[in-house]
Amino acid sequence: MSNRVLVLYASTHGHTAKIADRIGAVLREQGVHARVRRLDEHTPRLEPEEFDGFVVGASVHAGHHQHRAIAWIAEHRTTLDRHPSAFFSVSLTAADDTDEARDVTRQLIDDVLDETGWTPRLTQAFAGALQFKEYNFATRVVMRLMAKRIEHQTDRPVDVHEDTDYTDWDAVERFALAVAASLRPTEVPS
C-alpha cells in the first residue's frame, strides 16, 4: 500500500484546520502515515516527491478559495496527477441544502480544477462554520448579514457571540475513508 499522505490545507479562521486534522486522524486509524500541514507564509517548502497521496483543502472567502492553495496545486499539479489525490472545499454555501446552493458549491470546486488543471480522484464540499469568536469588527459586521441568511436557510438560530458549526463530521470521516481506499492498489482478477 502507498502509505505516505500529505493533508495540506489553507484556513483563514481555523475551521478547515479542524477538518484536515480529523481527516489525518482517520487516515492514521487506517494505517496511513498522514502528515497534516497548514499552508501559510511560515510553511517550509514541502517536497511532494516524499508522498504517495495528497489531500488538499481550502475554504471559501468572498467567492474564492484561498489563492495560496490554488497556487500550490498549480505548481505541483503534475506530481498530484501522478498519485491518488483529493480536494475538499469548506464553505457556508455547502450548509444550504438547495439545488441552487449545490450548483454554486460544485462551481466553486470546478473553478479550482479549471484554474489549476488538476484532476483529483475525489472532490468533496463540507459545510463550514460561523466563527464569531475569531472575527475582527469589520468581519463581524459582514458575517452578521451572512448569519441572517443562513438562519433563514437552515432554520437554526445563530448566536452571534458563539461559534456555530455546520460540518457533517460523519461525512468528513466517510471522505477520509474513501481517501484511504483510493490508496489501496486495485486488485486485478486472476
Contact residues for ligand FMN, defined by CB under 6 A: 11-16, 59-63, 90-93, 128-129, 131, 139, 142-143
Contacts of 31 (CB under 8 A, 6+ apart): 1, 3
Q: Map grid coordinates 499539479 to a residue.
A: 77
By C-beta, is 145 or 188 nearer to ligand FMN? 145
Task: Decide: 91 and 61 in contact? Cβ < 8 Å.
Answer: no
How far apart are CB 54 and ligand FMN at their closest, in Å? 18
DSSP state string for 123-151: EEEEE-EEETTT--HHHHHHHHHHHHHHH
By C-beta, is 62 or 188 nearer to ligand FMN? 62
Query: Any idea what DSSP says for residue 10?
Result: -
How far apart are CB 163 and ligand FMN at their closest, in Å? 10
How far apart are CB 179 and ligand FMN at their closest, in Å? 19
Which backbone phi and psi does 10 adopt, to 5 degrees? -110, 135
By C-beta, is 59 or 85 nearer to ligand FMN? 59
How far apart are CB 106 and ligand FMN at their closest, in Å? 12
With residue 122 as reference, give the H or E element that holds it: strand 122-127
By C-beta, is 30 or 123 nearer to ligand FMN? 123
By C-beta, is 61 or 82 nearer to ligand FMN? 61
How far apart are CB 140 and ligand FMN at their closest, in Å? 9
By C-beta, is 69 or 183 nearer to ligand FMN? 69
Among 24, 123, 23, 22, smallest CA distance to 65 is for 123
What ranges in the chain are assigned the alpha helix state H?
A: 15-29, 67-75, 77-82, 99-116, 137-154, 169-183
How far apart are CB 171 and ligand FMN at their closest, in Å? 14
